[in-house]
Every structure is written in C-alpha cells, then in structure tokens.
Amino acid sequence: MPERLTPEQSYALVSKYGSPLYVYDETLVRERCREISGLVSLPFFAANYSAKANTNIELLKIIRSEGLRVDAMSPGEILAETAAGFQPDEIFFIPNNVSIEELRFAAERGIMTSLDSLSQLEQYGKARLPRRVAFRLNPGVGAGHSDKVVTGGKSKFGIETKDVRRVQELAARYGLSIAGINQHIGSLFLQSNEYLQAAATLFEIAAGFPELAFLDMGGGFGVPYHGEARLDLEELGQKLTRVIQDFISKYGREITIMVEPGRYICAESGTLLGTVHSVKENYGETYVGTDIGFNTLMRPVLYDSWHEIRFFTASTERRRLTITGNICESGDVLARDRELPLPAPGDLVCIANTGAYGYSMASNYNLRLRPAEVLIDLSGQDRLIRHRDTYQALMRNMLDEALYLCQ
C-alpha cells in the first residue's frame, strides 16, 4: 500500500471528520491527469475525465484545472460538472435509456449528446432537439475486470456494427448531423490489445461519416489493485498515435480524438479510513467488524474486487481474518482470508485505491449516513470537500414530520 497516510495523520483525520472517511491526495490526481493528457501528443487529442468514477465537485475543479474535459451520464452529473466550472462545450453527455426530458436537459444547456440505441436515436430525431448529435458504437469487443463492467460485445450498450447503416438512414430521415461517435469497451484493462482492436473498428466505421467533429475511444484504463504490472501508457500512447495519424490522413481533415478514463484519474488517490468495532470468532473464522459497510464501499461485494487493507494497530499477532462491514447482510464482506495483524476495537482500518467507484457508488442502505470526503491539498493540508450525510437530510426526503426525531 502506498505510504500516503501515516497512522498519526489517519487518527487525526478521523477524530476531526468522523469515521468512515474518504481521503484524497490532490498531488496524485494531478499527476494522473497529466499522464493521460500526455498519452498522445497530437494537437487534436483530448482527454475526457469520466466523472462517474468520482463526482466530487472539488475533484472535478482540480481535473478541469489540469485541462481535461468531462463526460456525464445523467443530469445530476451535468449539474455537478457545471458547478465545477466546466463549460457546455467541455461536457459530453453519454447516457443510456434516458427520457426525452433528460435529453432536453442537456440540449437546453448546449451540451453535445450521444445516443445509445437506434430506438433513442429515433426518439431524439422526432423531438425538437438540436440536429447535431453523436451515437455510441458497440464495436463487438470488450474488456474489463468483471462481467458487470464489460460493455463491448454482448451487453446493453451502444449500437452494433451491423446496424450502423441504420444510423445513417435515421440521420437522413430526421435531418440529423452525426458529429461524433463514441465507444467504451469496459472498465479496467491492464493490457491494451482489445482497446486498440476496438479503436481500429471505430476508425473504420468513422470513415462512413463525413461530418464528424470528434471520435471518443472510451475509458477503461486500469490501475493495479493487487500488485499487477501497471498499464504501459507509453506503449499504448505510441500505438494510438500511429492509428490516429493513419485515420486522420485517410479522413482528410483533423477532428478531435478523445479518450475517456475515470478510474485511472482518481482511484489511487483515494484512501478509505474506518474504525474496527468488534472482533469475534464464529465457527472457526475470525471476523473483524468495521464501520465500512457495502453502502460505503460497494466494489468488494459487487465485483469481488480486491483492495489492500491495513489496520493501524499496536497488535503484532497475525491471523487469517474476514473483514466485514456494519450492514445487515451476510454478504457484507470487504475481504476474506487475509493474513493481517489482529486489530482491537477502536483501531483504524485503512483501505487503499478507493478514489474511484467508492463514494460515487455509496448509498444510504440500512439508512446509514454516507461519509465525509477530505482532500489533502498540494501543501499537505486537509480540507473538507463533502460533508457527511445528516439524519435531517435523510428524513427530509421522506417525511418532514420525522424531522423532530433528529433534534
């Protein structure tokens, strides 16, 4: 685990902001932004941050200040991005299965939208919405760390290659101009073969669309959670540069070519701190019970994801541990069978690489409060960037009458 937070610093942060707590490292977010911006050194190359990974407005501001643009999956993300200072032409709306009202929400703000199916393209065409649009291609090849996040090939996403002809027909029927094509084959690859293969398909398809302003090859750039070799960005950048140059020379003019990583930008910057509340033996297993339920960090339960875990404890006795949260489900397990020092109640637990798909997937399940988020800025100072939920806010959304209970 990277030595970003010392035990002393972690105890101080938790006593100041509460437990559990997400903590982000600004220096690392900026470093990752620069690596992605420098992936391809062509003047028409652009990096879009995929905000679903982490939509904290302060992080979005940092990412914008590094010159990245942003994508959005929903009106809520558009609002957060706008609050962070992104201009309409820096936001790309790529939703799936949305209502006309949601499409209008983006259009009224002058934001370019991508349609994810022929069905949505047709609805869009019939509605009184801007004529310049994009569509999402499903290039037939996927990659990712779990079936749940492989989006190329057999999945609900995009328009398959054999239906691209129908995109052209619908565009002609409704007077639409196809300004962009985007794709995303899945999340977390550490080898880039499929990404390059999919990019080749995208460029092939793009040749049939003469009015393009941009192409978006998608995100999915992986980070090592479990000691794997890092993604070789230099090699990927060189290969991408070659295929992009080749495409541009055949296409006959320069258009914007984008990538769209989320996880790569912020996963490693985040550490989740929590507190051990109990230690017990049940039928031969040692359970460490913490306050980090799957409402706070969902990845282990949803994807069987592996995160490095450490206890800040005085204990030296090592044991095989099952580390759990505080949610009322037996599946609420952060990690199984980890040999670690046996902590005691009150010790801190520290979970690495939780800056992406951590807070953004958190919920109020069991009516638990989502934690606060804190930024360690460039000078090493901590700053609150999102308040912990309050019981008042939880109750207000359901029943104002329940508010008196919170006083």
Ligand X SMILES: Cc1ncc(COP(=O)(O)O)c(C=O)c1O
Q: Does 139 bind ligand X (CB under 6 A)?
A: no
Q: Which is nearer to ligand X, 265 or 321 (CB)?
A: 265
| Residues facing residue 274 across a β-bridge | 349
Work out how close the CB of 134 gets to ligand X at its nearest, in angstroms, rounded to a whole number: 12
Asked, as a colleague might, if the bond just before 261 is cis with ω within 30 of 0, I would say no
Residues from 33 through 52 that contact ligand X (CB under 6 A): 50, 52
Question: Of these, 112, 188, 206, 385, which contacts ligand X (CB under 6 A)?
Answer: 188
Q: Which is nearer to ligand X, 53 or 137 (CB)?
A: 53
Return d(Cα 293, Cα 368) in angstroms, integer: 9
Q: Which is nearer to ligand X, 114 or 290 (CB)?
A: 114
Name the pairing type of β-strands 112-115 and 333-341: unpaired
Handedness of CA 279, 281, 286, 287 (dihedral sign): negative
Q: Which is nearer to ligand X, 107 or 188 (CB)?
A: 188
Q: Does 260 bind ligand X (CB under 6 A)?
A: yes
Stretch that binds ligand X, among 85-93, 235-243, 260-268, 304-312 (CB under 6 A): 260-268
Q: Does 261 bind ligand X (CB under 6 A)?
A: yes
Return d(Cα 77, Cα 80) in angstroms, integer: 5
Return d(Cα 270, Cα 351) in angstroms, integer: 9
Question: Of these, 94, 137, 272, 376, which contacts ligand X (CB under 6 A)?
Answer: 94
Q: Which residues of 367-385 are buried (b: 16+ CB within 10 A; e: fewer)?
A: ebbbbbbbbbbeeeeeeeb
Active site residue 350: no
Helix (H) or strand (E) run with residue 374 in it: strand 372-376
Q: Does 355 bind ligand X (CB under 6 A)?
A: no
Give the count of beta carbons closer than 10 Å to the beta carbon of residue 219.
Answer: 29
Q: Does 310 bind ligand X (CB under 6 A)?
A: no
In the block, residue with structure tokens 């069978």: 337
Which of 33, 266, 328, 406 is an active site residue? 328
Question: Of these, 40, 53, 111, 112, which contacts ligand X (CB under 6 A)?
Answer: 53
Q: Does 323 bind ligand X (CB under 6 A)?
A: no
Which amino acid is located at 162 in the chain?
K
Residues in contact with ligand X, shown as a per-residue x/- string from 218 to 257 under the rule CB under 6 A: xxxx------------------------------------
Strand, helix or coil for residue 293:
coil
Q: Which is nearer to ligand X, 216 or 373 (CB)?
A: 216
In the block, residue with structure tokens 């009202």: 101
State the residues that interact with ligand X by CB under 6 A. Answer: 50, 52-53, 71, 94, 149, 184, 187-188, 218-221, 260-264, 356
Catalytic residues: 328
